[in-house]
Structure 1
């Protein structure tokens, strides 16, 4: 039996921080897998790209084949140990928003949970402005909210094709990181019981 918890959230929401802290606190032993990293590794192995920025320029059909290959690899890992899959439900491009997973790919991965990390647009904007290490696109609060709304819609679509449960965890400044981490730990601990 395989077990996959998919964790998503738009840039600046605190997904990576919450994930790292939750993995340290949970009794569960999850393998953290980044979907984009695996896709890039596969593309390099296949001689399709040399740099990560080249990934966006790949033919959509080639990208889909890479996604399917990575999805199968994730399932193989998940059959041996529970997987926490770090990914993006939607990707903002200059032409519009792109779903992170075509139907065929989400059906292969078949996640048990889809966790969406959210915060208010003003909090996300503030975090992005304070994070000088990252070079992120400038977005308005309205655009940030739209992106979060689209992530919810994408999660519903993914759940329709996988029967996954959806959990929204809010990472607000006043609520604190601690509560958000606690909520994710609860999901991961629940997964241990399901996986056993």
Structure 2
């Protein structure tokens, strides 16, 4: 039976950093899979984009098709080994917010746990401004807060379709990273005990 732990958070929250550090500390043996990387790979292969940040500008129907393809790939991986799925619960697009997982996708993935990484909007804004490698949209602190609220709502909807447990982990600038990593380690260790 596939076993998937979803880890999500808006851009700049520190999700990928926390995930990588937690995987080094945990007893859990998860395969880290980045949903966006797989979507980008599919989109490049289809000639739709050249740069990752173009993904969110694809039309919603195309994004959904990519999501469905990627979900199937992830389930195949998760049948062989537990997957820690790094993704976004919602994606801000020019037309509005897109669910990272439409109903059909969440039902395919059927995650066991959903972990949301959050931080204060001012912290996220500061991290985004310091990250010169990405072409991020500029958002106000209010928009960032709204995006985090939408992520919580999305996680609840995902849990309704998968019976996943939801855990919120805060990643604050003042000693928050280590605490966030340790909290994720606890979740992953619990997941392993559930999986075994």
**TM-score (structure 2 length as normaliser):** 0.92
Q: Distance in 2 between matches of 1:59 and 1:137?
A: 17
Q: Which structure 1 segments of 5+ residues have no match?
A: none
State the match for 1:114 in structure 2.
114
Displacement of 1:44 after TM fit? Answer: 3.5
Structure 1 residue 57: Cα displacement? 5.5
1:194 positional shift = 1.5
Q: How does 1:36-185 map to 2 (within 5 A)?
A: 36-45=36-45, 47-52=46-51, 55-56=55-56, 58-185=58-185
Aligned-partner Cα distance in 1 for 2:42–2:178: 36
Q: Cα RMSD between the aligned structures?
A: 1.7
Moved more, 94-103 or 18-27: 94-103
Aligned residues: 195
Decide whether the 8 Å contact of 1:103 with 1:158 is kept in 2.
yes
The superposition leaves residues 17-59 of structure 1 with CA deviations (integer Å, 9 ceiling, x where unpaired) of 10110010011111111111112222334x3425145545655
C-alpha separation in 1, matches of 2:95 and 2:66: 22
The Cα shift of 1:77 comes to 0.6
**Which whole-Å CA distance do the structure 1 matches of 2:72 and 2:119 have between them?**
32
